């Protein structure tokens, strides 16, 4: 019988460890830092034409000067009306381009597209037409066409930072980081102070895992602008990419100090502090997050779960107390989460009546809250109310998110009750549904050995 007891303890310990391992995965290892993403630049109407790209016919010079004067006075519609009086074949390419640009500026995109194409039919290597068409398609979110025209403009010799930057952006989104790096470098070489090109190049280098190059870029930017929160956010991203949680947190805290209080960044900073066991600052950030933004149910549950796992019940209680005055305004799912954690704290403090009441209220607000069903079942099992606990675990098993954990807990309860046959049956079901469960075959072997040993003792 001593042998059986040792095996029971081993089985019990192993199952409990599995539960703990499952619970510690509440907070994701992949943190989210919200940084400024690469963007495209909205084009501005930039004048009627460039003589190096399209030449006005000699007979149009007088008209061109008059139209230029009208444009300087902001009379776009009047200029367009005059141009529309001519067939395209009667106009030089420069005048067709002017018409296209006016359509573009007045957001008549379909007419602008036709005019640009007419210009290209006459002059296929017209850089301005290719680049403007790229902008036109970009605004209309026709990204493949936009990229094609920007690439053609660059191939024909376009040396405009915006064109290189737009091509880089589209290469990044369509073909990945390596396709974007060179174009961003070209844009940055022409406009080294342009933040969009700095950000785009940083993102491309980071996604390409060229960390040394990204670090060098950031070091240069930090030296020039040490008080820009966006640069420190990029530094935090880079450190996280290299699994340097402490370095990421230092950079993120600097960004927050410099005024970046975006919700996701406060949340990530709090999570990093929790991971690094700097609990006071974590709680401070959690309170800032919960005070300044609409209550995020997933974040609240994450925060309270991690504080609980570290035994910081007073901090959890403080957060819950701060929500007390708003409790009536929350939806039922949020109320259920708050009551779940309040019940756990009461249970930890041996306030069993309060714990039971909060567990029950949490279920009343959300009968299908799997975490409540499991936690309440464990509480009832600790009070020897096994039938009620079993009922709750079976309810939790009916929910996809908690099915596996509820089955493991039910198997554990059967082990505690020395109902090894029932525990074995449940574990076999777990193995069938979740064959990759760590240690499941070992647990089944242990229980089978227990049953064999018991049968041998019974026979003898």
1/104 same-domain check:
no
How far is the C-alpha of 399 from the C-alpha of 406, rounded, in Å?
9
* Residue 211 tokens, joined: 């960390």
78/18 same-domain check:
no
How far is the C-alpha of 290 from the C-alpha of 251, rounded, in Å?
22
* CATH number of the domain residue 451 falls in: 1.25.40
How far is the C-alpha of 18 from the C-alpha of 202, rounded, in Å?
41
The predicted-structure confidence for 200-245, as pLDDT tens digits, reads as follows 999 999 999 999 999 999 999 999 899 999 999 999 999 999 999 9
Largest CA distance in the chain: 119
Q: What angle do CA 425, 426, 431 make, to 5 degrees?
A: 100
Length of the chain: 460
The predicted-structure confidence for 384-432, as pLDDT tens digits, reads as follows 999 999 999 999 999 999 999 999 999 999 999 999 999 999 999 999 9
How far is the C-alpha of 449 from the C-alpha of 437, rounded, in Å?
20
CB-CB contact of 71 with 48 (8 Å): yes
97/15 same-domain check:
no
75/18 same-domain check:
no
The total domain count for the chain is 2
How far is the C-alpha of 379 from the C-alpha of 362, rounded, in Å?
14
The predicted-structure confidence for 45-102, as pLDDT tens digits, reads as follows 444 444 335 655 555 655 666 666 666 667 667 767 766 766 566 677 888 888 888 8
Examine residue 355 and state whether it is found in any structural domain, yes or no. Answer: no
22/74 same-domain check:
no
Q: Which residues contact 314 (CB under 8 A, 6 or more apart)?
A: none
Share of the chain above pLDDT 90, in %: 56
pLDDT of residue 65: 65
103/158 same-domain check:
yes
pTM: 0.66
21/85 same-domain check:
no
* CATH number of the domain residue 108 falls in: 1.25.40.10
Examine residue 252 and state whether it is found in any structural domain, yes or no. Answer: no
Domain boundary among the residues 156, 174, 191 is at: 191
How far is the C-alpha of 93 from the C-alpha of 11, rounded, in Å?
84
Examine residue 297 and state whether it is found in any structural domain, yes or no. Answer: no
Examine residue 253 and state whether it is found in any structural domain, yes or no. Answer: no
455/380 same-domain check:
yes
375/418 same-domain check:
yes
How far is the C-alpha of 224 from the C-alpha of 194, rounded, in Å?
13
Phi, psi (rounded to 5 degrees) for 245: -65, -40
CB-CB contact of 365 with 397 (8 Å): no
372/418 same-domain check:
yes
H or E, element range at 352: helix 352-365
Domain boundary among the residues 191, 208, 228 is at: 191
The SS3 call for residue 460 is: coil
Q: Which residues contact 382 (CB under 8 A, 6 or more apart)?
A: none
Q: Name the burial class of residue 155, with classes exposed (0-12), middle (13-18) and buried (19+) by CB atoms within 10 angstroms of its CB.
A: exposed
pLDDT of residue 89: 65
The better pLDDT of the pair 247, 47 is held by: 247
Average pLDDT over residues 273-300: 86
How many helices (H) and strands (E) the chain has is answered by 24, 0
Examine residue 96 and state whether it is found in any structural domain, yes or no. Answer: yes
Examine residue 2 and state whether it is found in any structural domain, yes or no. Answer: yes
Examine residue 308 and state whether it is found in any structural domain, yes or no. Answer: no
121/23 same-domain check:
no
Q: Name the burial class of residue 354, with classes exposed (0-12), middle (13-18) and buried (19+) by CB atoms within 10 angstroms of its CB.
A: middle
Phi, psi (rounded to 5 degrees) for 85: -75, -10
pLDDT of residue 16: 36
Q: Which residues contact 394 (CB under 8 A, 6 or more apart)?
A: 406, 410
Closest alpha carbon to 166 in 119, 112, 130: 130
40, 112, 204, 218, 251 from 199: Cα distances, Å? 12, 31, 9, 10, 16
442/399 same-domain check:
yes
Full residue range of the structural domain in which residue 19 is found = 1-29+368-460
42, 179, 393 from 204: Cα distances, Å? 21, 9, 48
Domain boundary among the residues 138, 162, 191 is at: 191
Average pLDDT over residues 140-150: 95
Examine residue 416 and state whether it is found in any structural domain, yes or no. Answer: yes
């Amino acid at each position: 019988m001593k042998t059986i007891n040792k095996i029971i303890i081993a089985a019990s310990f192993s199952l409990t460890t599995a539960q703990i391992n499952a619970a510690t995965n509440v907070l994701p290892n992949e943190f989210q830092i919200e940084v400024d993403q690469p963007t495209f630049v909205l084009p501005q109407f930039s004048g009627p034409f460039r003589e190096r790209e399209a030449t006005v016919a000699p007979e149009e010079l007088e008209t061109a000067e008059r139209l230029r004067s009208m444009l300087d006075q902001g009379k776009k519609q009047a200029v367009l009306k005059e141009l529309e009086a001519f067939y395209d074949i009667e106009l030089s390419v420069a005048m067709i381009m002017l018409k296209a640009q006016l359509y573009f500026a007045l957001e008549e995109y379909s007419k602008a597209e036709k005019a640009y194409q007419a210009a290209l039919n006459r002059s296929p290597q017209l850089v301005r037409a290719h680049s403007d068409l790229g902008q036109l398609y970009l605004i209309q979110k026709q990204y493949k066409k936009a990229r094609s025209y920007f690439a053609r403009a660059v191939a024909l010799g376009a040396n405009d930072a915006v064109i290189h930057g737009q091509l880089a952006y589209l290469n990044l989104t369509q073909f990945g980081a390596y396709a974007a790096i060179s174009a961003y470098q070209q844009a940055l070489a022409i406009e080294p102070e342009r933040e969009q090109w700095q950000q785009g190049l940083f993102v491309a280098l980071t996604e390409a895992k060229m960390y040394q190059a990204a670090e060098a870029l950031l070091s240069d930017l930090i030296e020039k602008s040490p008080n820009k929160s966006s640069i420190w956010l990029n530094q935090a991203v880079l450190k996280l990419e290299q699994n340097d949680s402490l370095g990421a947190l230092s950079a993120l805290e600097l960004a927050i100090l410099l005024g970046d209080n975006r919700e996701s960044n406060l949340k990530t900073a709090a999570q990093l502090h929790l991971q690094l066991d700097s609990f006071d600052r974590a709680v401070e950030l959690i309170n800032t997050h919960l005070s300044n933004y609409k209550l995020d149910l997933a974040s609240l549950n994450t925060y309270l779960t991690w504080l609980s796992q570290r035994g910081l019940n007073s901090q959890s209680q403080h957060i819950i107390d701060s929500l007390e005055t708003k409790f009536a305004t929350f939806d039922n799912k949020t109320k259920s989460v708050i009551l779940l954690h309040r019940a756990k704290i009461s249970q930890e403090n041996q306030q069993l009546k309060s714990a039971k009441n909060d567990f029950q209220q949490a279920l009343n607000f959300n009968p299908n809250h799997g975490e409540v069903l499991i936690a309440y079942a464990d509480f009832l099992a600790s009070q020897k109310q096994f039938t009620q606990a079993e009922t709750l675990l079976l309810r939790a098993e009916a929910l996809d998110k908690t099915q596996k954990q509820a089955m493991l807990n039910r198997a554990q309860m059967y082990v505690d009750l020395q109902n090894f046959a029932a525990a074995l049956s449940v574990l076999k079901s777990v193995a069938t549904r979740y064959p990759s469960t760590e240690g499941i075959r070992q647990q089944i072997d242990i229980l089978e050995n227990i049953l064999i040993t018991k049968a041998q003792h019974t026979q003898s």
